[in-house]
Structures are given as C-alpha cells and as structure tokens.
Amino acid sequence: MRQIGTPHPRLPLPPAGGEDDMADFLAWLGEAIPMVPALGIREMARDGDSLAWALSLSPSLNDKGTGFGGALTAQTTLLGWCWTTLWLRRQGLARDVVVAEATQRFLAPVTSDYRLTCEPAADDAPAALAERLAQCGKGRIALVQRLWCGDTLCLEARGDYAVLPAS
C-alpha cells in the first residue's frame, strides 16, 4: 500500500533506443497513482508525437449523466504528465515531471465514451526541451490535450510540464 511522502519505485527505463510497452506503463501508472484504475482508461497508444487514451465515460459521470469536469481535467493533466514522462524515457532519462500550469476550455458535453489526445503545442517543442535539458538540466514543454466524443471536440486543455533537475 502506498505511503504518503514515500515515492513509488520508478519503472526501469526501456532498452537504449527502445520504447515503453504501453500496457506495462499503464499498469505501473495504476500502482504509482492510486486513482488511475478508477479513471476508465481502456487503451493507451502513441502515434508519432501524439499520445492517446481511449476512455469509458461511466467512471466520470456527473449528476447530469455527462462527463464531470473535475474528472476530465484530472485526466487531461495526467495525460500530459504521461506524454512528458514517456518522451523522457525514450531519451533514456528517468526524471521527475510536474505540471506547472494548466487550463481547460469546455466546448461541448461529454455524452459517451471518448478519446483524449496529447501533443506538443508547437512542432519544435520536443527539440527545444531536449536543448534546454542539455544546457540547463531542467526544462518545460507546452502540451495540448483534446477530448473527442466521436468527431465532436468537447474539451481542449493546455498545460506546461516542468522537467526537474536530476537529483
């Protein structure tokens, strides 16, 4: 059982030049962050610079029978954290990531199972982060998360994620 103030053990880095198995990463995430199994994540996939989750709506229902904004916000924030953490792991870096700033814009009610996507806010953001890490040992990246019910964009979120210096 997780103890307050005690970090969860890190997942070993993938082999040099390799990538994480998404199912293994999601299983580790569920152990590291106790609320993750209750989020309704059915699948996690990476496509180029985009990371996506397929989610069930039922765990995140509000009193109106649609998506609860607080749950959706938590999911967008966590997806950005996952994007940054997985990007670092592909670079061979085991580093701490924290959300520095986040905003959300709710555009339509979430009325069915949905997908969340996350990608850099700018095409050159990953290269800029890599350069900043090499020069300063820390850095930030701006990411955009979008929640889709079918073809309807229901939520757009933006977050800045800070990569902390190595301890």
Q: Where are the domains of the chain?
A: 22-163
In order along its 167 residues, the chain shows pLDDT tens digits of 778 999 999 999 998 878 899 999 999 999 999 999 999 999 999 999 999 999 999 999 999 999 999 999 999 999 999 999 999 999 999 999 999 999 999 999 999 999 999 999 999 999 999 999 999 999 999 999 999 999 999 999 999 999 999 98
Handedness of CA 42, 99, 138, 130 (dihedral sign): positive
What pLDDT is stored for residue 42 in this prediction? 96
The closest of 44, 73, 41 to 57, measured between CA atoms, is: 41
Which superfamily does 22-163 belong to? Hotdog Thioesterase (3.10.129.10)
In the sheet that holds 97-106, the strands lie side by side as: 41-47, 50-55, 114-120, 139-149, 152-163, 97-106
What pLDDT is stored for residue 31 in this prediction? 94
Rounded to the nearest angstrom, the gap between the alpha carbon of residue 24 and the centroid of all alpha carbons in its chain is: 15
What pLDDT is stored for residue 3 in this prediction? 86
| Alpha carbon distance 86, 89 (integer Å) | 5
Give the burial string for 78-113 (b: 16+ CB within 10 Å, else e): bbbbbbbbbbbbeeeeebebebeebebeeeeebeee
| Alpha carbon distance 57, 59 (integer Å) | 6
Beta strands in 14-121 (DSSP E): 41-47, 50-55, 97-106, 114-120
What pLDDT is stored for residue 67 in this prediction? 97
What pLDDT is stored for residue 1 in this prediction? 73
Determine contact, residues 22/44, Cβ cutoff 8 Å. yes
Q: What are the structure tokens assigned to 52, written together?
A: 């996506």
Pairing of strands 97-106, 139-149: unpaired
